[in-house]
Structure formats: structure tokens, C-alpha cells
């Protein structure tokens, strides 16, 4: 199934490139433009599906890892607040720029695309604010270096 999705995605992307050469300001050209857009969308979707379809499942025959024990109450540090707040600021700047240059409808479309980022950043801010134990320091070394978390 994965290889079929990859192959179909490549075929759709090739069809999109072929149709893009025929785009013009005529009725026939507009039809080729629609074909280009839909074939590109379907091709990229199938290509991504084929590439990431097995990432969530463990391979057959591999031992499953036990879940790490969860601490009773996690200490929330201010880095969560910084990352969440800066993500919300970036989203606001992007949406403001889109609204100013392209209009409100495009800003709404951009907000839909940015919805996972906005939801994640909002979660980080609320998790810090509602956390029972907070630490008001930002450890830049921990934010930048992920190896220190694994050790």
C-alpha cells in the first residue's frame, strides 16, 4: 500500500507539471490550471502518506518498549511560557501580514493552516499558568540541546 501511494503520488505530481505547461488565459488554459492544482494536491498528499504511513506503528517482530513512569506532578518551567508566547506572537504577525496584504479570507485560510501551531502554543501557555508547581527560570541550554534530556 505504501509503495502504491508513493508511485501514485509521483504520477500525480508529474501530471501536474505536465498540465502546468499548458496553463493560459483561455478556457482550455483555465482547465489545465485546475488540473495542475488538484493533481499537485493529490500527488503531494499521496507522497506524504506513502512516506509517513508506518512511523506511528512499531515494526513487526520488534519488542514493544514499556511506557516510562509518569511523575505525579510535573514542574513547569518558564521555557514553556516563552516558547508558547513566542509561537503565538509569530502566528499573530503572520496572520496580520496576510490580512493586510491579501485580505480577510486569506487570513482565515492561514489561520486554519496555523491552527495546530496556535493550539500547541496555547496549550503550553495554559499548562504553565495552571501548573501546580512553576519554576520561573528559562534554561536555554535545555531548550537548545536535546541531548541533555536523554541522559
Q: What digits encode the pLDDT tens for the residues 52-106?
A: 776 555 555 556 666 665 555 566 777 788 888 999 999 999 999 999 999 889 9
Residues 89 and 142 in one domain: yes
- Of the candidates 121, 123, 95, the one whose C-alpha atom is nearest the C-alpha of residue 107 is 95
Bigger pLDDT: 146 vs 14: 14
Residues 46 and 113 in one domain: no
Answer whether residue 111 shows pLDDT above 50.
Answer: yes
Residue 43 sits at the vertex; the CA angle it makes with 95 and 110, to the nearest 5 degrees, is 5
Distance of CA 9 to the CA centre of its chain: 20
Nearest-angstrom CA–CA distance, 30 and 22: 9
Nearest-angstrom CA–CA distance, 92 and 86: 10
Mean pLDDT of the region 29-37:
87
Answer whether residue 8 shows pLDDT above 50.
Answer: yes
Sequential DSSP letters for 38-93: HHHHHHHHHHHHHHHTTSSSPPTTPPPPPPPPPPSSPEEEHHHHHHHHHHHHHHHH
Nearest-angstrom CA–CA distance, 65 and 83: 30
pTM over 0.75: no
Residues 80 and 137 in one domain: yes
What's the confidence (pLDDT) of residue 151? 46
Residues 46 and 93 in one domain: no
Specify the DSSP element, H or E, that contains 17: helix 2-20
* In a domain? residue 142: yes
Residue 32: give the domain boundaries.
Answer: 2-52
Strand partners, 134: 76
Nearest-angstrom CA–CA distance, 55 and 65: 15
Residues 81 and 122 in one domain: yes
- Average pLDDT score, the chain: 80
Answer whether residue 126 shows pLDDT above 60.
Answer: yes
Answer whether residue 4 shows pLDDT above 90.
Answer: no
Lowest mean pLDDT among 49-63, 99-113, 127-141: 49-63
Dihedral Cα 79, 85, 87, 89, nearest 10 deg: -150
Domain count, the chain: 2
Residues 40 and 96 in one domain: no
* In a domain? residue 37: yes
* In a domain? residue 88: yes
* In a domain? residue 6: yes
Bigger pLDDT: 56 vs 50: 50
Answer whether residue 148 shows pLDDT above 80.
Answer: no
Amino acid at each position: 500500500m505504501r509503495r502504491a501511494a508513493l508511485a501514485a503520488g509521483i504520477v500525480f505530481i508529474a501530471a501536474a507539471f505536465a498540465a502546468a505547461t499548458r496553463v493560459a488565459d483561455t478556457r482550455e488554459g483555465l482547465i489545465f490550471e485546475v488540473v495542475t492544482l488538484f493533481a499537485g494536491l493529490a500527488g503531494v498528499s499521496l507522497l506524504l502518506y506513502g512516506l509517513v504511513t508506518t512511523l506511528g506503528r512499531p515494526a513487526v517482530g520488534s519488542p514493544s518498549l514499556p511506557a516510562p513512569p509518569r511523575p505525579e506532578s510535573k514542574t513547569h518551567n518558564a521555557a514553556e511560557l516563552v516558547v508558547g508566547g513566542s509561537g503565538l506572537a509569530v502566528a499573530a504577525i503572520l496572520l496580520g501580514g496576510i490580512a493586510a496584504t491579501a485580505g480577510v479570507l486569506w487570513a482565515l485560510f492561514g489561520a486554519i493552516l496555523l491552527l495546530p501551531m496556535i493550539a500547541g502554543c496555547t496549550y503550553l501557555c495554559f499548562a504553565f499558568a495552571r501548573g501546580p508547581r512553576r519554576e520561573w527560570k528559562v534554561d536555554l541550554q535545555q531548550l537548545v540541546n536535546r541531548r541533555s534530556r536523554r541522559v
